[in-house]
Structure 1
Amino acid sequence: MPKSRRYDVPPPVQRGRGRDRHGRGIRSSATGPYLPPLRTRIDFFDMTISTTVEYLRGLWPDELGSVSFEVAAAPSGAGPAVQRWWVSVPEQRVVFFRVPIQRLSRLHRNDEFHRRMMIESCVFRAVAELLGKDPWDIAPEGFHHF
């Protein structure tokens, strides 16, 4: 009588934390160990927001000391115009929406400098709205020509 073909099925592999789905371990960074990690658009946006907020907190420590600054992907509600930021004066809270600021801004030159200027201008306008001032009055010494 012919033998039945039995295949030995290996037992399932116990994968713990730190393993990918093929059991080969965690992937290394895309740039390797000798190059700095890649900087993404999200990292660039977050860093620009945080440095601009810290600059403004240095200029307005009493007014902005207790204000909460946050970053969200996009606004949740649909309206006639897409919000780029949301300000709540009673809550002392400002939320910046990353996708509308990055995607809906029309830049005449799409380079890092102009993207940074667009993000900084949104921060200045949102803080001006929070404080009830004109955006040009937020950092008047920042606009002196040399």
Structure 2
Amino acid sequence: MARFGRRSTGRAGIRSASRDRHGRGIRSSVTGPHLRRLRTRVDFFDSSIASAVEYLRDLWPDEMATVRFEVGAVPPGEPGRHGVDRWRVDPARRIVVLYRVPIERLAHLHKDDEWHRRSLIESCVFRAVAELLGKDPWDIAPERYRHF
């Protein structure tokens, strides 16, 4: 039985960014061209933050006008004595950095579904903004704040 193998191109050891696997062609999307793309954890996290920030900007337009939000994977350095940081606030530069991995992975949700994960992410955004503005989280968004 004949085996189909790679053809030598004279560039041994160099891998192309668009290489095909075992001569089968370039990989396509898992969902195909006619279905919408799957939603990843990163997409869900980003959209949850975006909706919470939009809500806060509508409630507090003057205070939130110059605030910039960033998303990081993990906080730099070693964990502090209080554990791993979920966010970092820089009041001088008006920046809030939310760390995705600690928020997602270190949460102890009693029910792991989309609504509870979104509530957890929103509560972290509200607490970080409250820390930046020097207010209580209940004053920031009293009808939406859920503490986990």
TM-score with structure 2 setting the length? 0.80
What pairs up with 1:54-133 in 2 under 5 angstroms?
Answer: 54-78=54-78, 79-80=80-81, 81-133=83-135
Structure 1 residues 142 and 113, CA, compared in 2 at 3 Å: closer, same or farther?
closer
Per-residue CA deviations over 1:95-134 (Å, capped at 9, x if unaligned) read: 0000000000100000111000000000000000011001
**TM-superposed deviation, 1:19:** 2.9
**TM-superposed deviation, 1:26:** 3.8
2: CA distance, partners of 1:123 / 1:10? 53
The 3-state SS of whatever aligns with 1:46 is: helix
Per-residue CA deviations over 1:63-92 (Å, capped at 9, x if unaligned) read: 111111000000012112110000011110
Rg larger for: 1
Q: Determine which of 12, 19, 22 is the counterpart of 2:10.
A: 12
Contact 1:18 1:25 survives alignment (8 Å): no
2: CA distance, partners of 1:58 / 1:102? 26
Per-residue CA deviations over 1:29-52 (Å, capped at 9, x if unaligned) read: 101112110101111001101111
The 3-state SS of whatever aligns with 1:83 is: coil
Alignment partner, residue 27 of structure 1:
27
Contact 1:18 1:26 survives alignment (8 Å): no
Identity of aligned residues (%): 60
1: CA distance, partners of 2:20 / 2:86? 39
2: CA distance, partners of 1:137 / 1:103? 27
Q: How many residues align?
A: 133
**TM-superposed deviation, 1:11:** 4.1
Alignment partner, residue 4 of structure 2:
none
